[in-house]
Structure 1
Amino acid sequence: MGKGFYISKPLGFVLFGLGVGAVLTIFALSVVYSQEKRKNEVNARDGTRMVTTAAPHSTSAPSNEPWDKYRLPDTLLPEYYNVTLWPRLVPDEQGMYIFTGKSGVALTCVKETNLIIIHSNELNFTLTSEMHHAKLTGLGGTSAPVILKTWFQIQTQFMVILLKEKLQVGKSYWLYMEFHGELSDDLGGFYRSQYTENGVKKVVATTQMQPTAARNAFPCFDEPSMKAVFHLTLLHSAGTVALANGMELGTENVTIDDQEVLQTRFEPTEKMSTYLLAFVISEFTNLRSPPEANIRIWGRREAIESGQGDYALSVTFPILKYLENYYNTTYPLSKSDQVALPDFAAGAMENWGLVTYREQSLFYDPKVSSNEDKEWVVTVITHELAHMWFGNLVTMRWWNDLWLNEGFASYVSYLGADYAEPTWNIKDLMVLQQVQRAFGVDALVSSHPLSSREDEVITPDQIDQLFDTITYSKGAAVLRMLSEFLTESAFAKGLHNYLHEYAYSNTVYTDLWKKLQEVSYSSIQLPASINEIMNRWILQMGFPVVTIDTRTGSISQQHFLIQPDAVVDKPSDYNYEWFVPVTWMKSGSNMGQHWLLTKTASYEPMKTDTDWLLANLNVAGYYRVNYDPQNWERLLTQLTADHKNLNMIIHRAQIINITLALRTTKYLYEEKEYIPWESAIRNLEYFFLMFDRTEVYGPLQTYLQRKVKPLFDHFKVITSNWTRKPPRYMDQYNQINAVSMACKTGVKGCSELTRMWYRQWMKNPDSNPIPPNLKITVYCNAIAAGGVEEWDFGWQMFKNSTIAAEAEKLLYGLSCTKEPWLLNRYLEFTIEPNLVRKQDVTFAIVYISGNVIGQPLVWDFVRANWEHITKDYDDGSFFFGRLIQGITKKFSTEFDLQQLQRFKEDIAASSFSFGTQAIEQAIEQTKANIKWVSENKVQVMNWLIEQSA
């Protein structure tokens, strides 16, 4: 699911503050710092290392019968399907939207069996005979056994067909079925989306099959290794257009059941997995590239005709060409369709040849959208197109290796986006956006390894839970590290060989290691095989903190946990030191690399009494670094003296002691560059989360106000009193930081500026004077400073918006009001699908919880309504996980912890079947927050008071 683990821009900043500031930089490493300092004093450096992993999911089946197991038996293989589907875009007499279908699958017997077990979920079948729901015939002159019985196993989502005799090994058969299902609005499987255009309601039939929902559309062997060719035919009403993975072969008028409909047939797909199937029936129109490229951007007519798809069209072709060159492999399909859907749960989905997106992930309007919106579009498109080869052409054998698909696409998205927009320096943002985000979750006891055994990931719920930060961001981080120490050219060459050998088939991650190893033997000196190096990063959870003592040259590693003294079970047998590629430089410009292969080692070149030493250059390795106090002081001095040095800026996030961390902000009054400010703000966000309800908040606000005021004044000057856009691209980003932090800390003139812009807009709703890059900040601060009039205007503009990026900015801004009754009203709106789209419910609720006034309201609301909130979502575990992570980010008291634990007990006692991992992580995070606040509140308060003296 390309960028399938979707976090909206405002939500990303909310969660990132927790993930980076809390886990990475401040509270956890401050514990490490104090421990290391004590060890330094006694010259004893060997701490106890503890590897932990999440307990494996229970996979015990209710019986040993094959239909009671969640995995398909290995007796049959599908070869090709013929599928015809007819979705009704108007409700029937009962008010339901339905679809009807018929499908046949050619299957080959590879092991003798008298059972056919095929996935089917929420489908109702027509009896093809007086007794049975399926019809079986032989192919190639083979006779087919008689069907004795058919039935459905609801828990395992199987149709089971019992045969009188056994199927013959090597023979092929044809299984035919007719069925119907509901075209519901749950955003999964074959579902409906809707929108209004020119006052007329429009309905779209569309799909989201990943990971286990193709079985909701037609009976199929719904596992990624069960690849087959699909022949698709779609029936649809006049005035609509049908799209599928393959190019349309033709559309004709037909009459079925006395109804005249259109029938569109498509070219057969390549051999592919069921989760990559897609079809869309709509009244959409398209933009297209020159015929030789065959690229089409689809969406609502109003959006396409207003130019919202122009940017996507302009970057798709160069990105495809970049990826062809990167993989050294031609794009494997005859066309590339990209469709923007009004309702879509994830960010986008890499269906082969028919990629589906949230509108915000594909559409861009330069008059309304911000730089961040544009960056999001180009990185999501690159992510999805990267999957066309890596994931689609060559596919993981089972979901336990999902990390390889998604981590790789997340990594490559920065390379392709950098190629498409070379002046943006997007690759520089990967440390902030991916590596540090992964650190945040992976430092928890409740984290999990990137790859697990197949038998630990069985049920749909267990599969759903893999679509998380570890899979996407840690996957990207470790692959980036691998590419760095192999070199990008060797990495790309190995990828080409991998894609060439395994095209149209399935692999496990070690197959990639083999191909990378083949190109690495002669050119790169490695301390061990790639398999041995990388297994230590993917088969055990977490990451190391590497401690360097520049006085002695000693270097050591220890598993980094936010609760170093936690006692946890360790079900995994994999418990090894990491093989760590330690890159480093000294102030004398000496640079080098050293592989740390053991728990402790000594490395003389790192010894120094005068130079500062900086390790893990550009944070290319997936590990944190700690130093002796003397080196920390030298680094801090260098940072203050050379604050524009990008390497120093990136590494500042590793400073660990609370006082040291705060001292890095003292020079900010003279800083004007984006990356230092962005790094500082993201790290300081944790302070706001923990202290915005305490007496520390006032001194913190006063301190930061003095730091940001010069930046605010700087932008006021270079924009001619806020009337022009800053000329430099990164300055346009930093202008957002200047205004946002100035308003947050009470800089004089900021609130007045945002209210002035917003009031101008209220006077003339058809002409928004607010600069697109500043809209989130302006909407939030103006609504916070206003009352019901400002909120109602924002709500009306949200409802009227035809641009998804604009709607999301307003969705966020509405959460900023200080009026409790308005926040409660907003919460009630979120569970009304006619008011807030289901795809946006999580984000709206989490936004409100980020408001210090809204957080307790949200917590009460979610506990009272959680079954109602989640019951309609096909991807319930994914949805619930995002919700819990967002609404508990401020929890930092024993009372918060008790409530959270009670909520966990309530869920365990109910029929609710997912979300346990998210709650465990929230409990662990809350405990860490409590510990950090108790250890650091007084220290932070005293330091801030000293600075104001």
Structure 2
Amino acid sequence: MKLSQAIFGALNLANAQRDAWRLPTDLDPLNYNIQIKAFLDPDDQGKNEDLSTYPANTFQHFDATTSIKMNCTTATSQIVLNSLFLDFDVSTTSLKKGNKDVGISSVYFDKDLEQVTIMLNEEIKENDEIDLMIKYKGYLQPNNFGFYISYYEDAGKRNYVASSQMQGPYARRVFPGFDEPGFKATYEITMEYQKSMPWSDLEYYPLSNMPYKSSADCTNTSGWCVQEFDKTVEMSSYLTAFAIVDFGSVNTVTSVEKTPGAGSNEFCNVCSARASFFQYCSEMGVGKADQIALPDFNAGAMENWGLVTYREQSLLYDMNRDRFDRKFYVANVVSHEMAHMWFGDFVTCQFWDELWLNEAFATFISYVGLEENRDLETGRAFIANRYPAALQHDQTTSSNPIVNIENNNGKVDGHPKAGSSNIIYSKGGIILKNIRCFLGDEVFFGGLQNYLEEFKYSNPTTYDLTAAWENMRNEVGVLLKGKTVGDHWDPWLRQMGYPFLTVKYTDENTKGINIAQKRFLNNPDDDASKPSSSFDYKWPIPLQTAFKTGSDMKYMSTWIEEGDVNLESNIDFAIVNADYVSFFRTKYDGQILDDLVNVLSVDHKSVPSFTRANFVADYFAFAGKQATDIG
């Protein structure tokens, strides 16, 4: 398990008191060798198969062998892995330490914890390297989890395809292993498949994360082919991907796989628009970035390294049928998944409670990656798509922080412990936009480059990320009023909720403004101090203020919690949170509200459109609410 040094020691201590859902850290996977044989034809499941033993509504299965090379970090006489719906026992499990066989006394499954415990006849010592091999049977269930079965209809025939969705976590339904993002290893995949199927005139072929090692071996007279793939880089289990399909292909710089009748080639133009930004990041880590549109898929898309999977409507755009908003949707989804090749794949959160390191970045960068295409109006789309959902979801005491480790109504047992997607994706993306605006592109992107390089193929934390920005901030010389990047943004990342600001003039002549803040809650009867927070529901406010003097609109940025902000004298009106760069609501009080309403009535275009949207949205939220006065 490659972890940042800041948490390595703490993890060993926590292991003794670990959450039952979490795997112990006494073994570290180095390499998986997975051989999988998938039976797609429900009428041909091999010899001696008893379908009555299959899970409900399941008629297809796969046979597999998984070998795991592991290093022992703490002496142990047991191996605990994640496993669910995989059939094996002591007789199909073996362990070697070097050339020596290690006896296995029992194999115990805990279905509730989705774990298997393999008890050994002797203790494995620290620094021992061991090889575990398990032969087993798994099931191609029609449920979109793990390695699953689905179909599309063509010419009145049902064409079966097998594909995978491992994040959830569901890799444990395909191979026994360390199914947590912090356990990275390399993977060697071999897939056995039937090239011809009775329902299709097309040839079937397999796909996985890496390119083919060589041509498939189809010399077996039984009709089965064997395809080996190149060894992967170090990656998390949930990023592994498998597919056996008879799809057509659109070959560009990358490859787009789709059912024969689905979609057009417009994707190619969508893809090329983002190339310049993503090349700015660093090497991607794998040699291909295939995209595959599936007939059945739960999520919009999944960032499997080297083989990205999608719903058909999330990847394929028909320029003769679909509206422009569909083009933006497809472009944004593809951009999101390509951003994941770095944020999520190249560097990965250590556990799901810091999923924002994957998803918030992919959300924000997906819009940044489309900035060069002016027709898409990404700034407007980001505000319309992300701000309302995040503000609405985060206005209750049952919300959760972006970094979902504390201040979350008690740690939820089980997984994935990520929290609400509106918080992780949308609020997380908004905070990243805010950090970019206040640090500037040189610090923001320069810090990210250093972060990616330092933690490539490993599992950093939020502390590592803010430290990378802090180091770059010091190098460039950006000032933050004597505080660090972490000091300023930790309250936004590590506690739920957000403030509303009451803003009024300090003096009708000088036109300075006074700021007071209070936590915004939709229900005035809720206790604003709950759940408890080490930050006491106070936030350092990254404040961008705009004010009009004559014909000039001037902008000023500062940090404040509460107090006065001096502006120029003789201004016509003032705006707080100009251009919607920060995450709070604003309640104007007295003459400052009158001035703003007056200019909106006379010449609304003199107020930028993002600011107008902010003003209207906030006052709709305040309508009928009784808890927006600050004493």
2:345 & 2:607 partners in 1: Cα distance? Answer: 37
Structure 1 pair 133–155 and aligned structure 2 pair: CA distance change class (3 A): farther
Partner of 1:6: none
Report if the CA contact (8 A) 1:68-1:156 is conserved: no
Displacement of 1:153 in angstroms is: 1.2
Displacement of 1:609 in angstroms is: 7.3
* Cα deviation code 1:419-445 (max 9, x no counterpart): 2x2233222221111122211111122
Report if the CA contact (8 A) 2:72-2:129 is conserved: yes
- In terms of fraction of residues, the more strand-rich structure is 2
Query: For 1:709-788, what aligned pairs fall within 5 Å after superposition?
Result: none
1:110 & 1:647 partners in 2: Cα distance? Answer: 58
SS for the counterpart of 2:582 is: coil
Amino acid across the alignment from 2:265 = D
Query: For 1:491-502, what aligned pairs fall within 5 Å after superposition?
Result: 491-502=444-455
Report if the CA contact (8 A) 1:483-1:491 is conserved: yes
Report if the CA contact (8 A) 1:133-1:177 is conserved: yes
Amino acid across the alignment from 1:222 = D
Partner of 1:715: none
2:411 & 2:370 partners in 1: Cα distance? Answer: 33
* Cα deviation code 1:701-729 (max 9, x no counterpart): xxxxxxxxxxxxxxxxxxxxxxxxxxxxx
1:513 to 448, 466, 481: 466
SS for the counterpart of 2:152 is: strand
1:593 & 1:66 partners in 2: Cα distance? Answer: 46
Report if the CA contact (8 A) 1:347-1:358 is conserved: yes
Report if the CA contact (8 A) 1:297-1:309 is conserved: no
Amino acid across the alignment from 1:242 = P
2:185 & 2:609 partners in 1: Cα distance? Answer: 51
SS for the counterpart of 1:259 is: coil
2:304 & 2:412 partners in 1: Cα distance? Answer: 23
Matched, 1:437 2:392: no
2:411 & 2:77 partners in 1: Cα distance? Answer: 27
1:281 & 1:218 partners in 2: Cα distance? Answer: 17
Partner of 2:597: 636
2:432 to 479, 490, 495: 479
SS for the counterpart of 2:376 is: coil
Displacement of 1:567 in angstroms is: 2.5
Query: For 1:868-883, what aligned pairs fall within 5 Å after superposition?
Result: none
2:318 & 2:447 partners in 1: Cα distance? Answer: 39
* Cα deviation code 1:19-50 (max 9, x no counterpart): xxxxxxxxxxxxxxxxxxxxxxxxxxxxxxxx
1:300 to 259, 263, 279: 259
SS for the counterpart of 1:618 is: helix
Amino acid across the alignment from 2:399 = S
Partner of 1:448: 400
Amino acid across the alignment from 1:423 = D
Amino acid across the alignment from 1:331 = M
Report if the CA contact (8 A) 1:132-1:149 is conserved: no
Partner of 2:230: 267
Amino acid across the alignment from 2:346 = L
Matched, 1:252 2:212: no
SS for the counterpart of 2:583 is: coil
Partner of 1:867: none
1:547 to 475, 482, 502: 502
Displacement of 1:467 in angstroms is: 5.0
2:81 & 2:450 partners in 1: Cα distance? Answer: 34
2:330 & 2:101 partners in 1: Cα distance? Answer: 51
Q: TM-score, normalization: structure 2?
A: 0.87
2:610 & 2:383 partners in 1: Cα distance? Answer: 11
Amino acid across the alignment from 2:563 = A
Partner of 1:219: 176
Partner of 2:139: 182
Displacement of 1:259 in angstroms is: 3.4
2:217 & 2:93 partners in 1: Cα distance? Answer: 29
Query: For 1:535-934, what aligned pairs fall within 5 Å after superposition?
Result: 535-552=490-507, 553-567=513-527, 569-588=530-549, 589-597=553-561, 600-605=562-567, 611-645=572-606, 647-648=608-609, 650-655=611-616
Partner of 2:6: none
SS for the counterpart of 1:406 is: helix
Report if the CA contact (8 A) 2:501-2:584 is conserved: yes
SS for the counterpart of 2:218 is: strand
Matched, 1:74 2:34: no
1:193 & 1:226 partners in 2: Cα distance? Answer: 30
Partner of 2:480: 526
1:157 & 1:534 partners in 2: Cα distance? Answer: 36
Report if the CA contact (8 A) 2:264-2:319 is conserved: no
Amino acid across the alignment from 1:547 = T
Partner of 2:199: none
Displacement of 1:550 in angstroms is: 1.6
Structure 1 pair 572–210 and aligned structure 2 pair: CA distance change class (3 A): same
Displacement of 1:564 in angstroms is: 3.2
Matched, 1:108 2:71: yes
Amino acid across the alignment from 1:563 = N
Amino acid across the alignment from 1:145 = V
Structure 1 pair 657–370 and aligned structure 2 pair: CA distance change class (3 A): closer
Structure 1 pair 259–645 and aligned structure 2 pair: CA distance change class (3 A): farther
Partner of 1:679: none
* Cα deviation code 1:859-899 (max 9, x no counterpart): xxxxxxxxxxxxxxxxxxxxxxxxxxxxxxxxxxxxxxxxx
Report if the CA contact (8 A) 1:67-1:160 is conserved: no
Partner of 2:247: 284
Report if the CA contact (8 A) 1:438-1:473 is conserved: yes
Report if the CA contact (8 A) 2:505-2:514 is conserved: yes
Structure 1 pair 113–357 and aligned structure 2 pair: CA distance change class (3 A): same
* Cα deviation code 1:138-196 (max 9, x no counterpart): 23x5x343111111111111111111111021121110011112211111111112110
Identity value in percent: 29
Structure 1 pair 499–174 and aligned structure 2 pair: CA distance change class (3 A): same
Partner of 1:403: 356
- In terms of fraction of residues, the more helix-rich structure is 1
> How many pairs does the alignment contain?
580
- Give unpaired runs (5+ residues) of structure 1: 1-63, 662-682, 684-927, 936-949
* Cα deviation code 1:173-231 (max 9, x no counterpart): 11001111221111111111211012111111011111310000010110111100000
Report if the CA contact (8 A) 2:95-2:131 is conserved: yes
Report if the CA contact (8 A) 2:404-2:419 is conserved: no
Structure 1 pair 68–133 and aligned structure 2 pair: CA distance change class (3 A): farther
Structure 1 pair 189–282 and aligned structure 2 pair: CA distance change class (3 A): same
Structure 1 pair 439–657 and aligned structure 2 pair: CA distance change class (3 A): closer
Amino acid across the alignment from 1:585 = A
Amino acid across the alignment from 1:595 = W
Amino acid across the alignment from 2:223 = E
Matched, 1:361 2:325: no
2:133 & 2:330 partners in 1: Cα distance? Answer: 42
Query: For 1:226-245, what aligned pairs fall within 5 Å after superposition?
Result: 226-238=183-195, 239-245=203-209
1:369 & 1:288 partners in 2: Cα distance? Answer: 22
SS for the counterpart of 2:442 is: helix
* Cα deviation code 1:423-473 (max 9, x no counterpart): 33222221111122211111122111111328966755453x625111100
Displacement of 1:311 in angstroms is: 2.0
Displacement of 1:254 in angstroms is: 5.0
Displacement of 1:610 in angstroms is: 5.8
Displacement of 1:646 in angstroms is: 6.2
2:127 & 2:305 partners in 1: Cα distance? Answer: 30
Over the aligned positions, Cα root-mean-square deviation in angstroms equals 2.5
Displacement of 1:551 in angstroms is: 4.1
SS for the counterpart of 1:514 is: helix
Partner of 1:199: 156
Structure 1 pair 655–526 and aligned structure 2 pair: CA distance change class (3 A): same
SS for the counterpart of 2:605 is: coil
Q: TM-score, normalization: structure 1?
A: 0.59
Report if the CA contact (8 A) 1:643-1:649 is conserved: no
Amino acid across the alignment from 1:324 = Q
Structure 1 pair 404–564 and aligned structure 2 pair: CA distance change class (3 A): farther
Displacement of 1:313 in angstroms is: 2.2
